Amino acid sequence: MSDTPPQSAGPPLQWLARPQTSALLFLAAAAWAATLVLARGMAGMTGTMGFGIGAFVAVWTLMMAAMMLPSVAPLASLYARSVSSSRTARLGALVLGYLLVWAVAGVPAYALAWLTSWLDNHHPAAAHGLAIAIFAGCGVYQLTSAKDRCLAHCRSPFGLLLRYGSFRGRTRDLRVGAHHGAYCLGCCWALMLVLIAVGVMNIVAMVALAVVILVEKVSPRGELIARLAGLAALGLAVATIWLPWLAPGLQAAHPMMMGS
């Protein structure tokens, strides 16, 4: 990994003012609004929230659009400036490729959410242990070199454009989005696992994670933020040993939910 500081997309107000990235942020805001409406009807629901895999993946993708698209804005801003025609359509293809990666990630997320529901009903102690393992796994991954490599990729939009310039063909924008999405998945999958422990539609947790992800990617001290988030997750893992209510996404770990 290079020691060269990542190149930015310019001052935030500059790339926020560009029409393509403004549209991307509007899309993220719409996804947040839709997620809030859905969450209102699912208060206290955990696991798969009663969804089949298709509906779960659709809701998961909506949530990922809300949480992740703001952090893609710097890359989108530079990418839109690098193309000379059909900017809106090409940026749309990039976003589609990006979200397809997160939609695919919704399949194992559904499997894990289903497992938590099953453990809640059959092995409460194992459900408690899974919550601890999720927090611990997130914390450990945040401190690894794999996390550092993926985060460095996401923090260097200028370097990405040099690489993506070699992409050719009608699907190049879709492939750019999928390639970048794969690195973002590698960067953020452990943070997203926390949603399984605290409740997939836990809005407070979603907002907190979205802020951490955005700051990791755009702040000059992003690497430090990533490590602090990892230490916080490890602290949650230890605390959850004695305070199982810290993992409300696992019903058996939350006495109030068990009695509801």
Nearest residue to 81 via CA among 178, 157, 13? 157
- Percent of the chain past pLDDT 70, that is, above it, reads 85
* Per-residue model confidence as pLDDT tens digits over 81-133: 777 667 778 888 999 999 999 999 999 999 999 999 899 889 989 999 999 99
Which letter does DSSP use for residue 109 in this model?
H
Find, among 94, 86, 43, the residue nearest to 68 by Cα: 94
Gyration radius from the chain CA atoms: 19
**Do 258 and 252 touch, CB atoms closer than 8 A?**
yes
Q: Collapsing DSSP states into helix, strand and coil, what is residue 4?
A: coil
Reported confidence tier of residue 260, pLDDT bands at 50, 70, 90: very low
Report the predicted TM-score, pTM, of the whole model to 2 decimal places. Answer: 0.86
C-alpha 22/C-alpha 216 separation (Å) is 21
CB 252 within 8 A of CB 46: no
pLDDT digits (tens, 9 = 90+) for 160-218: 677 776 777 888 889 889 999 999 999 999 999 999 999 999 999 999 999 999 999 98
- The per-residue pLDDT of the chain, averaged, comes to 85
Confidence of residue 6 (pLDDT cuts 50, 70, 90): very low
pLDDT, position 18: 64
The encoded tokens of residue 254 equal: 């939350």
Per-residue model confidence as pLDDT tens digits over 37-61:
999 888 667 788 889 999 999 999 9
